[in-house]
Structure 1
């Protein structure tokens, strides 16, 4: 449901494409160094990280991006990241991304959950579950 499986060609300059993906408290990850830095920050602050692996050409990614940004503003205790699978191809491959968007939920750099597809209710449910588990710990 709501996933893209392959890359489509887009004509023209897409330098402004990230604007809608990285609003609110969403951090755009453009290098492995930024990824490592953000994960280190999150671990130090005891924050859960949600990493959205998406693509600018992916319809479902574009549809869920504003919702993801909203969630980032509602949940400041979570670090929200977005990774463009085309910009960081090798890095994304290391995460075994089969479809976009794919959301990884990380605690101390380790995956604790995953969601494939632009499923708003399920994304909200997983965030609530993770927040509940952290507050219960």
Structure 2
């Protein structure tokens, strides 16, 4: 697919594959599943956080456990993971050029984007979106 972009912590890229599942993260493996999750989120008025990553990408593997933690911390959001090598058409249509890339979608439309494995920025964006979904008192 494209470039691996982020804060590489070193280490071997040949170590075991990281599990991108867990928490409330849904793996998107085909176009139909992507469309189903978009539709469900629209019906439930939920914001989607989509992680476009690759199994060979060191920064993607580094941020995966943090992404899973965030999915548990913010259950009011929908967390998806898309492997750019498995979903090349979708990744190309969304102009993904680096991994990881995080898309934030509301009503099926992109409202924000983050490129790279920047944990503090990812958490900041997710927290702000989660707060915006809370009913005002």
User: Could you state the TM-score of these two structures normalised by the residue count of structure 2?
Assistant: 0.85
Residues 1-137 of structure 1: matches in 2 within 5 Å? 4=4, 17=17, 20-135=19-134
Describe the SS at the equivalent of 2:133: helix
Please state how far the C-alpha of 1:126 moved relative to its aligned partner: 0.3
Count of aligned pairs between the two proteins? 126
CA offset digits 1:12-32 (Å, max 9, x no partner): xxxx94x61111110000000
Distance 2:56 2:34 in 1: 22
Describe the SS at the equivalent of 1:20: coil
User: Could you state the TM-score of these two structures normalised by the residue count of structure 1?
Assistant: 0.85
Distance 1:67 1:114 in 2: 17
Describe the SS at the equivalent of 2:99: coil
Describe the SS at the equivalent of 2:60: helix
Distance 2:20 2:83 in 1: 9
Distance 1:89 1:98 in 2: 11
Please state how far the C-alpha of 1:65 moved relative to its aligned partner: 0.2
- Unaligned runs of 5+ residues in structure 1 are none
What is the CA RMSD across the aligned residues, in angstroms?
Answer: 2.0
